Amino acid sequence: MIKRIGDRLAAYLEQSDRDKFLLTTAFVIAFVSLIGISMAATPSGSLVGPGSYEEKNTTFSMEQSVQNNGYSMTYLYAKSGNVAIKNYAHGSGSLNSESTLIYQLLNKKNHPLYTDYNDFSQNCIQFKEDVSMAYAPVRITIGNGYFAANPLDYNSLLKEKTWVKNYRAGTSMHHEVEYAHVLDKNLEINAKEKFNYTYDPVWEGLGYTQMKIKEDLTDGKAHIGVLQSNTDYAGKLANDGKTPLSDFTSLKGLGPGMLSSAMKNPSIEIDEDYWGTSHIEKNMTLEVPYYKKTSSDDWLPCCSGGYLTMPASYIGDAKLKSSKGVFDCSCFKAPNQAQFPRVY
């Protein structure tokens, strides 16, 4: 074996410089081609390599029951993928509240070696609240020092602010109570988004947002707002063709487009304000689904069935019309004599 390699090396060294250059160039071209094939096997921007599987599944749940007589301030914020909620409240007086929060962030990336790649995400947040608040000025002593002899006076009317945003659907819902003396409210929020991409490709997106309100308000102000973008964000990434694969499930690269387009040209806009004593019941649901399936030929289709079996889109292509004779073999003529006589 060693002698055979030595003989080939000696034969190579005996060749002319031109022959060496041609052999070296051919080797480099073949090596670069192999690299290109291996790189093409992994789509640009993929987060995991070929033959791998990655999954992230984060869940959180909370149940809460609070009774308070004094002053309270609460803040809650949760973001799962492209859905987010916020709940903020404060006021002095009595508070009786029960609430639950359920959160899930699920991302899967499956990149097998010999079949279609798939990226999948499903993220959701559910928030429920049953709250009764009654305003009253209160005086609170703190510790044994200065504030024990000089109690703090709290005289804050009731305020509660809740919003939910679904960036996959381009949806925003907002509810706020201010300057209230008494508030008895039941609130439920359900928000989820799903994005499924198979590299053959199949695009599937879904944005679902729901807000249910049932409340009695005494001597205060209630505001309800809804904004729905006119832009289809559930399938936005399937259409622009510019966003890298690593951004498919996070909507990065869109910038402030959702807010500006929704404000300038919304498909749904609701703005309501109620002052005084009110009884309000609302059930709002916005669902934005998206599905797109496209197919492409991995190889030139005429190689298997001939020119006449090619799709009409190929036959009608301007570039192929000029080469029609090549594909249907009508340009072939058997030669009567050799065009290049053999040289001895």
Provide the total of helices (H) and of strands (E) in the chain, helices listed first.
9, 10
Residue 128 CA to its chain's centroid (Å): 25
Give the residue with greater pLDDT, 198 vs 6: 198
* Cα distance between residue 302 and residue 169, in whole Å: 42
Residue 252 clears pLDDT 80, i.e. is over it:
no
Band of the pLDDT at 255, cuts 50, 70, 90?
very low
* Cα distance between residue 70 and residue 153, in whole Å: 10
Same domain, 170 and 316: no
Same domain, 99 and 202: yes
Same domain, 213 and 230: yes
What pLDDT was estimated at residue 235? 61
Q: Provide the residue range defining the domain that includes 213.
A: 52-293
Same domain, 168 and 113: yes
Q: Are 207 and 166 within 8 A, CB to CB?
A: yes
Q: Is residue 251 helix, strand or coil?
A: coil
Q: pTM higher than 0.85 for the full model? A: no
Report how many domains make up the chain: 3
* Cα distance between residue 199 and residue 177, in whole Å: 47
What pLDDT was estimated at residue 149? 87
| Residues contacting residue 58 through CB under 8 Å, at least 6 positions apart | 103, 104, 105, 106
Same domain, 274 and 159: yes
Q: Which of 139-143, 259-263, 274-278 has the highest mean pLDDT?
A: 274-278
Residue 334 clears pLDDT 70, i.e. is over it:
no
- Does residue 87 fall inside a structural domain? yes
What pLDDT was estimated at residue 147? 86
- Does residue 342 fall inside a structural domain? no
What pLDDT was estimated at residue 327? 57
Same domain, 216 and 261: yes
Give the residue with greater pLDDT, 195 vs 6: 195
Residue 248 clears pLDDT 50, i.e. is over it:
no
Same domain, 117 and 175: yes
How many percent of the chain have pLDDT more than 90? Answer: 45
